[in-house]
Amino acid sequence: MAAIAVIAGVGVWTTHFVAMLGFRPDLVLGYDPAVTLISALMGVLAVGVPFSAASIANSRRKSAAWGALGGLGIGAMHYTGMAALQGCAVSHLFFTTLLSLVFGASFASIALGIRPVGWRYPIAVSLLVLAVCLLHFTAVGGARLTPQALDPSSLVFEPELLGVVLSGTALMILSAAFAAVFGQIRLEKREQAEAERLAEQAELLSSALHNMSNGLVVFGADGLIKLHNQRAIELLNLQAGDLVDRMPSRDFIANFAKRNGRDEEWAERAIANHGKWMSQEEVVRVEQSFDDGKVLSISCRPVNGGGILTYDDVSDEREHQRRMAYLAHYDALTGLPNRLLFREELDRAVARAHRGETVSVLCLDLDHFKSVNDTLGHPIGDALLKAVAGRLSDCLRSSDTVARLGGDEFAVVQAGIASPEDATALAQRLIGALGMPYDLEGHQIIVGTSVGIALSPSDSIDVDQLLKCADMALYRAKADGRGTYRFFEAEMDAKMQSRRALEMALRKALQNDEFEVFYQPLVEAKSEQITGFEALLRWKQTERGYVPPSEFIPLAEEIGLIGRIGAWVLRQACCEAAKWPEHLKIAVNLSPVQFKGQALVLDVTSALGAAGLSPHRLELEVTETVMLQDTETTLGILHLLRELGVRISMDDFGTGYSSLSYLRKFPFDKIKIDQSFIRDLSDKADSAAIVRAVTTLSSDLGISTTAEGVETQEQFDRLRKEGCTEVQGYLFSRPRPAREIPAMLADADRRRKPLADALEARSAAA
């Protein structure tokens, strides 16, 4: 401000004084140095100071007032400067003096009152110049100068010299003052830029602080809160006033406890903990759970005796982890523990069992659950599994564990029982409870349960082995007719092992070429002529010799090999039959399992095609079980086969449900009466009655009948009498390898005798 005052004052004074130098040089001989200096000082004090005050005044009115004062100051400076003239006496007219002061004060007041910034700056400067000039010329116009002798003793400045010296001095002062002002302006500008930068940064930090996803509270070493953000208030369930800067941290923790239902004891502990965290060197991380399920991860970074606490909402993450952990250990459908958790529980129960205590493992399997799924759909199947899980849980003590091992398999650990009878009681309870009817979406469903039981330590103390034992016992329960329970027995293991060995061998049998098809003749009862052959599969195993089909066919069905084996038999049989005389048929057995895939029709057509066999020479034998499963699909396939021209026989009739409705559902070409009826034909009247009923019914329906297992002439005669169309049995021939068939046919042809005689002759010759 001082610099501005000097610049303004000296500037005005210099302008004024230089103008004075040109004033009446004929009369003015010199200048009084003291008065000249005073006028210069007045320039600074009476003009510069008010002007600089005007530039920083906080209102226009004040600026205008300071401007008017500065204008009067110019007048004062002018008249003082005139008083310094030497060589003449100066007098002023009152009126011009007054007018000059009015000009100076008014124009200077307007110049500074309009705030000389931007476009107003040149106007203000012009007004100021006008103020100086009007004042000067009005004052000079009213000045009367009378020549006077100069006092030789007085010190007088020569006007020229004074002009040069003062101008030079004024110039120097002005330059220095200008330099100071510019320096000051630059400094102020720099400071202002820095202040702006800091303000911008502070705003940025504040916005970042309040918009960050984490809550933040900074604790000072003096125990006061130094800084916090809004997010901290939200995350900690606080309200306005609960957390403010400069608040004692104790109060903040107490407020937190109050808002979140924690007692004073908790708050004291938390205060002590906060103190501990901040006195440590390491960052401390803890988690805090809330009643509403929110979980906060709190991290405390100690800083200079205080600490920076950040709060992170990890609820979603923890929920996800909890869900993953749940899914890893529980079954999503029933909510029961899964195999993994069950194994862990079993492990614990076995390890915990005291001396004399027994742990029982019960493996359960729903009987015919698959047919519920197949016939009523998966949603009902799922509902049934949930209902089963509920009933299982209701049957158990709290110390027992029930799990769903997968599909319709469940298992129970019965911990710490006194004797196997406890396991028996539980198994009976479970079978009873699960066997009660279920009412699911309007469907009444009844499913039985089979249970296998293994005991620890008697069966095994190894958890995996124990589960295997229970599984074997379950297998036995199912084999023994389902709806029952079985305890594990050591021989089951041996059986299971040999079954497994057989399974391994069966898997290799096809590629090792161990299968062979034998053929047994079908004989027309009336003419005793061979009408065709039934293809019967034989497995010649390297170690065991011939394995009967009753043993390996069910196994092949179970392990999913029957499709490939069945297709192979079809090809072999068709190729063989193609070599026989045209009138001979070939009968091939089909497994119910072959009806489950899409391959059967293709297998049949490709076998016929490859052999070049006419479809009407092929007879396919199906059992009643085929008619029990997924009837729609099965019937569709049977009709497709029939359309190909293939004949369809009902095999082993009388052994299953023997429902006559099957005969209505599909028009079979032939019924094969099971050998059990033929065997008892002469001893049991009911067998004969059944045979008679079937033959009569069949002939009425236009279906031919074949009696299986005919071993004696007596049986044959009886069957002929009952009207059976065809016979098959050892009486005529056992199943024979393919290579023997041509000779058998040639024999029968040559002798033109009934087949039985021919065979008899052959065996007598042998």
Which is nearer to Mg ion, 310 or 675 (by Cβ)? 675
Nearest to 427 by CA among 436, 418, 414: 414
How far apart, in whole angstroms, are the C-alpha atoms of residue 314 and residue 325? Answer: 16
User: Nearest 5°: CA angle at 99, between 97 and 104?
Assistant: 95
> Which tokens go with 93?
């007219």
Q: Which residue in 708, 711, 726, 760 is the catalytic one?
A: 708
Query: Cα-flanking dihedrals φ and ψ of residue 489, to 5°?
Result: -130, 150
Whether 708 sits among the annotated catalytic residues: the reply is: yes
Nearest to 131 by CA among 152, 158, 110: 110
Q: Which residues pair with 217 in a beta bridge?
A: 228, 309
Pairing assessment for the beta strands 30-31 and 485-487 based on DSSP bridges? unpaired
730 binds ligand C2E (CB under 6 A): yes
In the list 173, 349, 445, 553, the residue contacting ligand C2E (rule: CB under 6 A) is: 553
Which is nearer to ligand C2E, 373 or 594 (by Cβ)? 594
How far apart, in whole angstroms, are the C-alpha atoms of residue 121 and residue 124? Answer: 5
Neighbouring CB atoms inside 10 A of 764's CB total 7
In the list 735, 736, 753, 754, the residue contacting ligand C2E (rule: CB under 6 A) is: 735
621 binds Mg ion (CB under 5 A): yes
- Measured CA to CA in angstroms, residue 124 lies from 128, 140, 313 at distances of 6, 24, 63
Q: Are 572 and 618 in contact (CB under 8 A)?
A: no
Instruction: Considering only the stretches 79-87, 123-131, 556-564, 618-626, report the one whose residues sit in contact with Mg ion under the rule CB under 5 A.
Output: 618-626
**Virtual torsion, Cα 230, 233, 238, 241, nearest 10 deg:** -50
What b-and-e string marks burial along 647-662, b requiring 16 or more CB atoms within 10 Å of the CB? Answer: bbbbbbbbebeeeeeb
Which is nearer to ligand C2E, 186 or 734 (by Cβ)? 734
How far apart, in whole angstroms, are the C-alpha atoms of residue 683 and residue 327? Answer: 64
Nearest to 738 by CA among 517, 526, 554: 517
How many residues bind to Mg ion according to rule CB under 5 A? 5
Instruction: Considering only the stretches 359-367, 388-396, 408-416, 703-711, report the one whose residues sit in contact with ligand C2E under the rule CB under 6 A.
Output: 703-711
Choose among Mg ion, ligand C2E, none what residue 142 binds, the Cβ cut-off being 5 to 8 Å by kind. none
Instruction: Considering only the stretches 128-136, 199-207, 232-240, 615-623, report the one whose residues sit in contact with Mg ion under the rule CB under 5 A.
Output: 615-623
Pairing assessment for the beta strands 449-456 and 485-487 based on DSSP bridges? parallel
What is the DSSP secondary-structure string of 542-582? TTTEEEPHHHHHHHHHHTT-HHHHHHHHHHHHHHHHTTS-T
326 binds ligand C2E (CB under 6 A): no
CB of 526 to Mg ion, least distance (A): 22
In the list 537, 584, 627, 690, the residue contacting ligand C2E (rule: CB under 6 A) is: 537
In the list 50, 71, 215, 709, the residue contacting ligand C2E (rule: CB under 6 A) is: 709
How far apart, in whole angstroms, are the C-alpha atoms of residue 646 and residue 633? Answer: 18
Contacts of 446 (CB under 8 A, 6+ apart): 435, 437, 438
The footprint of ligand C2E on residues 499-518 (CB under 6 A) is none
The footprint of Mg ion on residues 694-753 (CB under 5 A) is 708
CB of 711 to ligand C2E, least distance (A): 4
Which is nearer to Mg ion, 415 or 593 (by Cβ)? 593
CB of 480 to ligand C2E, least distance (A): 22
Which amino acid, one-letter code, is at 187?
L
CB of 518 to ligand C2E, least distance (A): 7
In the list 444, 511, 550, 763, the residue contacting ligand C2E (rule: CB under 6 A) is: 550
Alpha helices in 436-561 (DSSP H): 463-479, 490-509, 549-558
Choose among ligand C2E, Mg ion, none what residue 735 binds, the Cβ cut-off being 5 to 8 Å by kind. ligand C2E
Nearest to 104 by CA among 137, 82, 81: 137
Tell me the three-class secondary structure of 369-400, residue by residue.
HHHHHHHHCHHHHHHHHHHHHHHHHHHCCCCC
> Which tokens go with 328?
């890893």
The footprint of ligand C2E on residues 557-616 (CB under 6 A) is 566, 569, 589-591
In the list 459, 624, 652, 722, the residue contacting Mg ion (rule: CB under 5 A) is: 652
> Which tokens go with 324?
């993953």
In the list 52, 338, 414, 520, the residue contacting ligand C2E (rule: CB under 6 A) is: 520
Nearest to 116 by CA among 68, 50, 67: 67
Element holding 600 (H helix, E strand): helix 599-611
Tell me the three-class secondary structure of 412-442, residue by residue.
EEEEEECCHHHHHHHHHHHHHHHHCCEEECC
589 binds Mg ion (CB under 5 A): yes
Which is nearer to ligand C2E, 400 or 534 (by Cβ)? 534
Active-site residue list: 708
- Binding stretches for ligand C2E (CB under 6 A): 520, 536-537, 548-550, 553, 566, 569, 589-591, 621, 651-652, 675, 708-711, 728-730, 735
- Binding stretches for Mg ion (CB under 5 A): 589, 621, 651-652, 708
